[in-house]
Structure 1
Amino acid sequence: MSLRKITSIAELHKYLHAALQLEHATIPPYLTALYSLSPGTNSDAARVLRVVIVEEMLHLTLAANMLNAVGGSPELTRPGFVPQYPTRLPDGETDFEVGIQAFSREALETFLKIERPARSPEEGSGFVRRPRSEGAVLPTFMHDDDTEMHFYSIGEFYHEIGRGLKSLHEEMSARGENLFSGDPSRQITPDFYYSGGGEIIPVVDLDSALEAIRLISEQGEGIGGAIYDYEGEISHYYRFQQLVLGRYYQKGDEADQPSGEPIAVDWGSAYPVKRNARLDDYPRNSELHAAAVRFGTDYQALLGTLTQAFNGEPGLLEAAVGEMFRIKESALQLIRNPIPGMDGVNAAPVFDVRSSEGGDHE
């Protein structure tokens, strides 16, 4: 994977494809952590995870709207879109990997890194060039050269998209051309999507595109790293931090110092699911293998429905969002069952069964 500063429509399309991958890549880890919770426990943690997952679906949809607005075509079913975990995120953050695991302190620490505010004391600016790094990285549609553009946070990644949008809009407007030439009928509008976590924004011009970027960035990390987003809701980073610190934030609190009601988190009440499970972790012709294939097939069908919704059939989106949570039962068929021959290890969902057999994994 390699990122350059946005100087062309082709570069912009590549960034927005990477944004789709980025938003999606957080959903399987968050879903697995949610579904790993033991029944009747950790209601606060479950509530936080559900809210964040719904908002990540909103962010995915906003990224699709932006790509459609500038003449691209969202595609969520092509090989490599679903990562093999653990993976680095496609915005180039190199100091951590994202994996599939049970709800735990370690999982929450990773979630905090995913959602961290846009600040890098060592690097200052939002991006730097570095040599190509080692390790699994989501394949993207970026340039294939000897250097990469690395962003410290998701917010800084979107800042570059916003900068590129403004620059290209100015250049094309000066030539009498329109950057936002995509078919408006492909936009997901509030008529087709309501999440309770922010209203969908149809992207038809520069102002609406920048508004979509602001919503995505601030729901993740707050306004400039503050606790709340512009709607006054707690951002993802601080929602997760509440669980780690064991207390809710309330208005007037300083960052890292919540003073609200205590949160009871039982870190031991989660099924011990296999980290970064692959299909070949389950014996062939076993019930677990069949359940894993069924889940992965259903998940790919869900991504297919989302792709259709983002490419001219917006009425399908509501059904797809509901299906995201209806797959819970097939996930639990895995999560609540031990893997034969692995003492104290339960099965976990496999989100891409097409490429999960073979290869090295935990």
Structure 2
Amino acid sequence: MYSYSIRTLDELKEFLHRAMQLEHATIPPYMTALYSIKPGSNQAATQILRVIVVEEMLHLTIAANILNAVGGTPDLASPGFVVSYPTPLPDGETDFQVSIQAFSREALATFLKIERPAQRPHHLVGKGLIERKTSPHTIALGSHPRHENLHFYSIGEFYSTITEGIKYLEAEARRAGTTIFTGDTSRQITSEYYYSAGGELFPVTDLKSALEAIELIIEQGEGDGGGIYDDDEHELAHYYRFDELVKGRYYQKGNRPGHPTGPQLQVDWEGAYPLKANLKVAEIEDPELLEAATAFNTRYGEFLQLLTRAYNGEPRLLLEAVPIMFEFRNMILELIRNPLPNHPGMNGGPTYEIPGNIQAAGSRQAEVIA
């Protein structure tokens, strides 16, 4: 049982907005690692990363469905929505930071931390939420006074708190003869607008569907109840897909976590372009690279605006989202295939500095710290 409980609808909406920010924060590092792989190399890693990027978009959309269901307003274009890399995850995990970097052992080690199961290390069991002091390099749930020093050990813990909050608030509403699920149902995104082999998109309209939606996110990330697959035993969870790459061997039915016994999996750790990690526009001196980086950031901002419209009553726009994500491949390749002047041995890369967003994110974070 966690020591923090959501007790107001406004708090729940803030947590759900942060859930959307959290799901989005994984997409740039996964997508960059995917497109950093050289053609003809690391076919298994390419397939694993491509599937996970699409499923993270699914999770982002599920979080938007839940927020819409309780009367919130999804906004991916708001100041501060896009984090500035390197960064802790938006749910406040503090023992690691997420970077924009090439496919590598270091990147995979971070990806395993992102998707780690909710079970804590032995020394943290029974301690509830971990309290901490906010630092200039740490994102916290800070806009509400009770959230200022909260962070969670894992994404699973974070969503468990949301689950308990939804249950509590809906029980309170029912005692008063109402419900928290008052959102416009026409804003719900279903599978007709977004196909993912890893899970079905269904409308969130009540307690049951909300809890099922959260369970899908958790299962796809870390596995079901300590297992390596989702609840249907069909799809390997993200954590164990990454673990396959680290261990160089596939999981198969009946395997225990951490002990894959399937066929060997070939990984070429030199088979990716050496892009400079966490590159910023201000570091790019070459005019052509600068133009390419700026064009990418502008297009990515347009992508987030499109998603915002899709989640706010124009669901058909989501049909354009996945094709745009794969359009990013060509834009990213323009950057990562070219050497970065004054950085020997390093190539360019996407910076994800969205116009009008990253700057606001920095000032907003400074306000929280102050």
TM range (shorter): over 0.9
Query: Which of 281, 284, 292 in structure 2 is aligned with 1:282?
Result: 284
1:121-168 Cα offsets, whole Å, 9 max, x none, are 222248414132324234756414685222111011101101000000
Partner of 2:113, secondary structure, is helix
Residue 35, structure 1, aligned to residue 22, structure 2: no
Distance 2:109 2:316 in 1: 37
* Count of aligned pairs: 355
Q: Does 1:258 align with 2:260?
A: yes
Identity of aligned residues (%): 54
The Cα shift of 1:342 comes to 1.0
- For structure 1, which segment, 48-57 or 347-356, has the greater mean C-alpha deviation from structure 2 after superposition? 347-356
Normalising by structure 2, we get a TM-score of 0.92
Report the CA distance shift for 1:24/1:255 in structure 2 as closer, same or farther (over 3 A): same
Structure 1 partner of 2:190: 189
Q: Does 1:291 align with 2:292?
A: yes
Per the normalisation by structure 1, the TM-score is 0.94
2:342 maps to 341
Q: 1:301-316 to 2 correspondence within 5 Å?
A: 301-316=302-317
Q: Which residue pairs with 2:353 in the alignment?
A: 352
> For the Cα contact (< 8 Å) 2:132–2:150, is it kept in 1?
no
Pairwise CA RMSD of aligned residues? 1.7
The correspondence of residues 1-20 of structure 1 with structure 2, limited to 5 A, is 5-20=5-20
Task: List runs of 5+ in structure 2 lacking aligned partners.
Answer: 363-370
One of 238, 241, 257 as aligned partner of 1:239? 241
1:219–1:236 Cα contact (<8 Å) kept = yes
Q: Deviations over 1:179-216 (max 9, x none)?
A: 00000000001221111111112100000000000000
Deviation at 1:50, TM superposition (A): 0.6
1:223 alignment partner in structure 2: 224
Gaps of 5+ in 1: none
How far apart in 1 are the matches of 2:5 and 2:255?
Answer: 37
Closer, same or farther: CA 307–238 of 1 in aligned 2, 3 Å: same
Q: What per-residue deviation string (whole Å, max 9, x for no partner) do you get for residues 272-295 of structure 1?
A: 1011111111127x0000000000
Q: Which AA in structure 1 matches 2:299?
A: D
8 Å CA contact 2:92–2:140 kept in 1: the answer is: no
**Structure 2 Cα separation of the partners of residues 271 and 290 of structure 1:** 20
Q: Name the amino acid aligned to 1:198.
A: G
Q: Shift of the alpha carbon at 1:322?
A: 1.6
1:97 corresponds to:
97
Distance in 2 separating the partners of 1:251 and 1:339: 45
Matching residue's letter, 2:335:
L
1:24 to 1:300, Cα distance in 2 relative to 1, 3 A: same
Distance, in Å, in 1 between the alignment partners of 2:139 and 2:190 is: 29
Give, in whole Å, the separation in 1 of the partners of 2:284 and 2:352: 14
